[in-house]
Amino acid sequence: MDTIPQVARLHAFVKGRVQGVGFRFFTMQAAWTHEVSGWVRNRRNGEVEVIAEGQRAALDALLLDLQHGPSSASVSDVTVEWQPYQGEFTSFDPRETV
């Protein structure tokens, strides 16, 4: 019996020294590697915000990457909200700062 792959949506806020250190580019590379879609952007409060959709296992792997970040970053906390998959995205891209 085949199992239906579980898909989900990850909404994360990454705190710490995560701006000006290549974190968005790191996140885009990780998302492409894990084959998830969505976006990443800096927030004016110093956080990086990520929304990603795809297979739950791939999102779990992306979350592990977000918790570590690139070697130039220092992640202090990642706030995560799991949401229902919406099928909204076809790629993973940067967005403007908000």
Residues designated as active site: 24, 42
Dihedral (CA of 83, 31, 41, 64) sign: positive
**C-alpha 59 chain-centroid distance:** 8
Q: Alpha-carbon distance 64 to 95, whole Å?
A: 22
Q: Which amino acid is at 89?
A: F
Instruction: Name residue 15's beta-bridge partners.
Output: 77
Residue 67 near residue 74, CB atoms below 8 Å: no
